[in-house]
């Protein structure tokens, strides 16, 4: 209960030692995750458009071995292209990904393809970048700025402390976050900062991380394809320290 005990009675980012404790808690989270070695995750990406219901258009589940640089993931991309002209690609089955430090293997509609990780990042679009995001998102907490405590919440039955912060957009994009728009973030095309929120448990482990992207209307062919919208990517992390099998 080290984290909660240290922050007990500290009102957000108020006076005294609270700001230093708040920053230290977030900055130490990557090291605490690395000490565990592995984690499992579930993620979902929600598109928010004014006056319309929230739309979940991409979901992920998998696990990462931080020490080996390996992992596995199942990605349901069936809603990714909804709303675009002519619909776009339709995949009936989730995409299965496994990766090592050097290589990515993808199974799409029963067909397997394997590429070096560097080549996958350059040539395979979102599928090639998705494996970078879970570990990179945790690591970015060590570079967080503008950190403030939001409050206490429960995540999957666990007591957590919720923090808001942000990271440099170019740094985030360079590490592969957000996976969907990493090349654009590396050029700061969506602003200088990427807003984040993180929920830390009593041991300082990140149990939930969320980022927010504000997108301008997308136009093409002289007309609006998508309106202005907000995208929220949320990861729930669990099973820290459990073995991760990437044998496929």
In a domain? residue 246: no
Total domain count, the chain: 1
Express each pLDDT in 198-234 by its tens digit: 999 999 999 999 999 998 887 777 887 777 889 999 9
Residues in CB range of 244: below 8 A, 6 or more apart: 38, 40, 63, 64, 65, 68, 70, 71, 72
Peptide bond into 178 cis (omega under 30): yes
The answer to the question of residue 217 being in a domain is yes
197 domain residue, yes or no: yes
- 115-165 tens-digit pLDDT: 999 999 999 999 999 999 999 999 999 999 999 999 999 999 999 999 999
Residue 188 lies in a domain: yes
The answer to whether the pTM exceeds 0.75 is yes
Using 50, 70 and 90 to split pLDDT, how confident is the model at 79? confident
Residue 8 has pLDDT above 70, yes or no: no
33 inside domain: yes
Local structure of 182: helix, strand or coil: helix
CATH of the domain at 121: 2.50.20.20
Q: Is residue 229 a part of any domain in this protein?
A: yes
245 inside domain: no
Range of the domain at 116: 2-238
Answer whether residue 247 is part of any domain.
no
pLDDT band at 2; cut points 50, 70, 90: low
């Amino acid at each position: 209960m080290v984290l909660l005990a240290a922050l007990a009675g500290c009102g957000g980012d108020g006076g005294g030692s609270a700001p230093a404790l708040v920053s230290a808690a977030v900055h130490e989270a990557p090291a605490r995750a690395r000490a565990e070695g592995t984690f499992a995750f579930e993620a979902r990406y929600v598109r928010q458009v004014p006056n319309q219901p929230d739309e979940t258009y991409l979901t992920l589940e998998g696990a990462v071995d931080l020490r080996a640089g390996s992992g596995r993931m199942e990605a349901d991309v069936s809603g990714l292209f909804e709303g675009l002209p002519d619909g776009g690609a339709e995949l009936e089955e989730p995409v299965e990904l496994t990766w090592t430090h050097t290589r990515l293997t993808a199974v799409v509609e029963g067909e397997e393809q394997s590429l070096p990780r560097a080549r996958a990042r350059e040539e395979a679009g979102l599928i090639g970048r998705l494996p970078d995001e879970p570990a990179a998102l945790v690591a970015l907490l060590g570079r967080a700025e503008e950190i403030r405590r939001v409050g206490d919440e429960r995540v999957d039955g666990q007591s957590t402390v919720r923090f808001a912060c942000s990271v440099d957009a170019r740094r985030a994009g360079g590490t592969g976050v957000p996976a969907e728009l990493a090349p654009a973030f590396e050029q700061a095309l969506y602003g200088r900062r990427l807003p984040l929120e993180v929920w830390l448990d009593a041991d300082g482990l990140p149990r939930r991380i969320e980022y927010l992207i504000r997108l301008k209307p997308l136009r093409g062919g002289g007309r609006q394809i998508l309106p202005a919208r907000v995208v929220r990517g949320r990861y729930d992390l669990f099973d820290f320290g459990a073995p991760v099998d990437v044998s496929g």
